C-alpha cells in the first residue's frame, strides 16, 4: 500500500503524528497519476506545481486540521480561479474563470490540495464519460469498461488511487452512478445543502454538488466541509449543518429500511439484485427493520426527468453564443451566423440533441403537453417518497440496474444509455439525499447499494452506510490496475 491508496482519515492520522508530510502524500499521488493516467485518463488538467506549493505551505505551518494537506480533484464543471474549466466541451476549452466555486473556496479554506480537474461528459450530460469532447475515461476495474458518468473522471481517479477524494455534480445520478461503477462511495446531498455557485449549470432545479471518497468516514468529513448556506446561491438553504462525522455509529438497531419493489424490476441484473438483497439481510442482522414498499410512479421518472433536465439545459446553454466568452467562429460574415456557427462547432452531438429536445418541449403549443406534464409527474414522484418516509427512515435499492458496461457498447444508442439512470433520477426529481456504497461484485465489477433519505437527513444515510461498511469489507477491495 502506498500513501496514495489510503483514506483521508488514515492520511490525517499520519500527518498529525508527523509520520508523513503533505508533500510526501502529494508525491505519492503524482507518481500514481503518472503511472495510471495513460490507461485511466481521468484528468483533463494536472496542476503539479501549484499543488506542490500548497502542500509545502501546509507542511511549513504544520497545522493539519480539517482537510489540510489532503489532495483532491474536481470535476471540470467547477469554476476554479486562474485554472482552465472546460466542462469537457470545445465550447469552454479555453475558459479560465476569475473566481472559485463556493464548494472549492471551502476546500481551499480547509487546506485541501487541489491536484487537478477531472474528465466528465460534456456539460454533465451522459452516463459513461464517453461524451467528453476530449477523450473517454476508463474504469480502473476493467480498462475496457466505462467508469460511468457524468462524473466519470471523479470516480475513476478515486478508485485508481490517484486522489483520496473528489467532487462531482449529480443532476440525475452523476455522482452515485459512477461511484457504483467504480466501487467507491458517492453522496448527492439534499438539493440546497451545498452551494451551486460557480458550478456550471446543466439543469438548475436538479443539479447538486456531490462527494466521492473511498469510505463513509471520508465522505462525512468532506460533506461537512463544503455544506451550508451561501448567500451567492439563492437555492442554498439556511439551516444548520450537522457534524456528519458524529453519525459514524454502527448501532442501527430499530432503523426502518424500505426497499421499493419497482427498483428490482425494470431490467435489473440478477447479480445486482442478489447483492442488494444480501445487503438487506446484513441490515436485518444488524437489527434494522426491513420491509418492501411501493413507489408506484417510478416508471414515469425517467421520461419526466429527461423533459425537465433538457428543458432547463436548453435555457442554461443559451448563453454560449460566442459573444461574451467561450468558443467563437471568426469566419462568420454576420452576427447571426456567428451565433449559430459558434454553437455548431462548440457543442458535441449529445449536447445538441438535448438543446433541441429541451427547446421543443418548452415551445408554445407543446409546453403544456410535455414540460408542464413532467412537472406534475415530478410532484407525484415526490409524494411517493413522502408517503414511504412517513413510516421509514431510509430507502435502500440498487444504484444502477447493471455493473459498468463496455466502452462503445451503448454510446450509439441514447435511449439505452439513458436507462442507466433509471434508479437514480427519481431522487433528483424529489430533491432528496442519496448515496451509493459498494455492496458486492458481479463479473469482477463493483455493485452499488443506493441509500435514500428524507430531505436534509444526510446524517441518517451516512449512519446506515457506515454500519454496513463496518459489517462488510467491499469498500476495502481495490482494482489491480496493472501498474506498479
Ligand atoms: N445521465 C444523466 C443525464 O445525462 C444524469 C447526468 C447528471 O447527473 N449530470 O442527464
Q: What is the pLDDT along the chain (484 residues), one digit of tens a residue?
A: 899 999 999 999 999 999 999 999 999 999 999 999 999 999 999 999 999 999 999 999 999 999 999 999 999 999 999 999 999 999 999 999 999 999 999 999 999 999 999 999 999 999 999 999 999 999 999 999 999 999 999 999 999 999 999 999 999 999 999 999 999 999 999 999 999 999 999 999 999 999 999 999 999 999 999 999 999 999 999 999 999 999 999 899 999 999 999 999 968 999 999 999 999 999 999 999 999 999 999 999 999 999 999 999 999 999 999 998 899 999 999 999 999 999 999 999 999 999 999 999 999 899 999 999 999 999 999 999 999 999 999 999 999 999 999 999 999 999 889 989 999 999 999 999 999 999 999 999 999 999 999 999 999 999 999 999 999 999 999 999 988 6
Q: How remote is the CA of residue 319 from the centroid of ligand 1, in Å?
A: 20
Q: How remote is the CA of residue 40 from the centroid of ligand 1, in Å?
A: 21
pLDDT at 280: 98
Is the CB–ligand 1 distance for residue 129 below 6 Å? no
Q: How remote is the CA of residue 275 from the centroid of ligand 1, in Å?
A: 25
pLDDT at 483: 80
Q: Which residues pair with 435 in a beta bridge?
A: 187, 451
CA atoms within 13 A on the CB side of 183: 21
Distance CA 213, CA 155 (A): 8
Q: Is the pTM of this model over 0.95?
A: yes
Closest alpha carbon to 88 in 114, 123, 115, 116: 123
Is the torsion defined by CA of 382, 388, 391, 395 positive or negative? negative
Catalytic status, residue 39: no
Q: How remote is the CA of residue 399 from the centroid of ligand 1, in Å?
A: 14
In the set 75, 117, 188, 454, the catalytic residue is 75
Copy the grid coordinates of residue 237. Answer: 438553504
Is the CB–ligand 1 distance for residue 304 below 6 Å? no
Residue 309 vs residues 304, 362, 373, 397: alpha-carbon distances, Å = 9, 11, 13, 23
Pocket test for ligand 1, best of 149, 153, 206, 425 (most atoms within 8 A of CB): 149
Is the CB–ligand 1 distance for residue 322 below 6 Å? no
Domain 3-258+390-476: give its CATH superfamily: Amidase signature (AS) domain (3.90.1300.10)
Q: How remote is the CA of residue 107 from the centroid of ligand 1, in Å?
A: 25
Is the CB–ligand 1 distance for residue 305 below 6 Å? no
Ligand 1, residue 417: give the atom nearest the CA: 1
Is the CB–ligand 1 distance for residue 59 below 6 Å? no
Q: How remote is the CA of residue 189 from the centroid of ligand 1, in Å?
A: 16
Q: Are 85 and 113 in contact, with CB atoms under 8 Å apart?
A: no
Ligand 1, residue 126: give the atom nearest the CA: 4
Q: How remote is the CA of residue 31 from the centroid of ligand 1, in Å?
A: 32
Catalytic status, residue 382: no
Ligand 1, residue 171: give the atom nearest the CA: 8
Pocket test for ligand 1, best of 76, 78, 150 (most atoms within 8 A of CB): 150
Is the CB–ligand 1 distance for residue 198 below 6 Å? no
Pocket test for ligand 1, best of 118, 122, 174 (most atoms within 8 A of CB): 174
Copy the grid coordinates of residue 347. Answer: 457543442
Domain boundaries, the chain: 3-258+390-476
Is the CB–ligand 1 distance for residue 312 below 6 Å? no
Is the CB–ligand 1 distance for residue 170 below 6 Å? yes
Q: How remote is the CA of residue 413 from the centroid of ligand 1, in Å?
A: 15
Neighbours of 82 (CB within 10 A): 10
List Cβ neighbours of 168 (8 Å cut-off, separation of 6 or more).
75, 120, 150, 151, 154, 155, 174, 175, 178, 186, 209, 210, 211, 212
pLDDT at 266: 67
Is the CB–ligand 1 distance for residue 46 below 6 Å? no
In the set 128, 174, 227, 436, the catalytic residue is 174
Ligand 1, residue 125: give the atom nearest the CA: 4
Catalytic status, residue 205: no
Closest alpha carbon to 383 in 423, 428, 427, 430: 430
In the set 28, 105, 150, 195, the catalytic residue is 150
- Torsion angle of C-alpha atoms 131, 134, 136, 138, degrees rounded to 10: -140
Distance CA 141, CA 153 (A): 14
Q: How remote is the CA of residue 19 from the centroid of ligand 1, in Å?
A: 41
Q: Are 187 and 175 in contact, with CB atoms under 8 Å apart?
A: yes
Distance CA 401, CA 420 (A): 7
Amino acid at each position: 500500500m502506498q500513501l496514495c491508496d489510503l483514506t483521508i482519515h488514515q492520511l490525517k492520522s499520519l500527518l498529525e503524528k508527523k509520520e508523513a508530510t503533505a508533500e510526501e502524500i502529494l508525491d505519492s499521488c503524482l507518481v500514481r497519476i503518472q503511472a495510471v493516467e495513460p490507461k485511466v485518463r481521468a484528468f483533463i488538467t494536472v496542476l503539479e506545481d501549484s499543488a506542490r506549493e500548497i502542500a509545502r505551505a501546509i507542511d511549513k505551518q504544520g497545522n493539519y486540521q480539517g482537510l489540510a494537506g489532503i489532495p483532491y480533484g474536481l470535476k471540470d464543471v467547477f469554476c476554479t480561479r486562474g485554472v482552465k474549466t472546460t466542462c469537457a466541451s470545445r465550447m469552454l476549452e479555453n475558459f479560465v474563470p476569475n473566481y472559485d466555486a463556493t464548494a472549492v473556496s471551502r476546500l481551499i479554506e480547509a487546506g485541501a490540495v487541489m491536484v487537478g480537474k477531472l474528465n466528465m461528459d460534456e456539460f454533465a450530460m451522459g452516463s459513461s464519460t464517453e461524451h467528453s469532447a476530449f477523450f473517454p475515461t476508463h474504469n480502473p476495474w476493467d480498462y475496457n469498461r466505462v467508469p460511468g458518468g457524468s462524473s466519470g473522471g471523479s470516480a475513476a481517479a478515486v478508485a485508481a488511487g490517484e486522489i483520496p477524494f473528489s467532487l462531482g455534480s449529480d443532476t440525475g445520478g452523476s455522482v452515485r452512478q459512477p461511484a457504483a461503477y467504480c466501487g467507491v462511495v458517492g453522496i448527492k446531498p439534499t438539493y440546497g445543502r451545498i452551494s451551486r455557485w460557480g458550478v456550471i449549470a446543466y439543469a438548475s432545479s436538479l443539479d447538486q454538488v456531490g462527494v466521492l471518497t473511498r469510505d463513509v468516514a471520508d465522505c462525512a468529513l468532506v460533506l461537512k466541509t463544503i455544506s451550508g448556506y451561501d448567500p451567492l446561491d439563492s437555492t442554498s438553504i439556511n439551516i444548520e449543518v450537522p457534524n456528519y462525522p458524529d453519525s459514524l455509529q454502527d448501532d442501527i438497531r430499530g432503523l426502518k429500511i424500505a426497499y421499493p419493489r419497482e427498483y428490482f424490476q425494470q431490467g435489473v441484473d440478477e447479480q445486482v439484485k442478489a447483492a442488494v438483497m444480501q445487503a438487506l439481510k446484513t441490515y436485518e442482522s444488524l437489527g434494522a427493520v426491513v420491509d418492501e414498499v411501493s413507489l408506484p410512479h417510478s416508471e414515469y421518472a425517467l421520461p419526466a426527468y429527461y423533459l425537465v433536465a433538457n428543458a432547463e439545459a436548453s435555457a442554461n446553454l443559451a448563453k454560449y453564443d460566442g459573444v461574451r466568452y467561450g468558443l467563437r467562429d471568426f469566419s462568420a460574415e454576420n452576427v447571426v451566423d456567428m451565433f449559430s456557427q459558434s454553437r455548431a462547432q462548440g457543442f458535441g452531438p449529445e449536447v445538441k440533441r438535448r438543446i433541441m429536445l429541451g427547446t421543443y418541449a418548452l415551445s408554445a403549443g407543446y409546453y403544456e403537453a410535455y414540460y408542464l406534464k413532467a412537472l406534475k409527474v415530478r410532484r407525484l414522484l415526490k409524494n411517493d417518497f413522502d408517503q414511504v418516509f412517513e413510516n421509514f427512515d431510509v430507502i435502500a435499492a440498487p444504484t444502477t440496474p447493471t455493473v459498468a458496461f463496455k466502452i462503445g457498447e451503448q454510446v450509439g444508442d441514447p435511449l439505452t444509455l439513458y436507462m442507466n439512470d433509471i434508479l437514480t433520477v427519481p431522487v433528483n426529481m424529489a430533491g432528496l439525499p442519496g448515496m451509493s456504497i459498494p455492496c458486492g461484485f458481479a463479473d469482477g465489477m463493483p455493485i452499488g447499494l443506493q441509500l435514500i433519505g428524507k430531505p436534509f437527513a444526510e446524517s441518517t444515510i451516512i449512519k446506515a452506510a457506515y454500519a454496513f461498511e463496518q459489517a462488510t469489507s467491499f469498500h476495502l477491495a481495490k482494482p489491480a490496475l496493472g501498474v506498479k
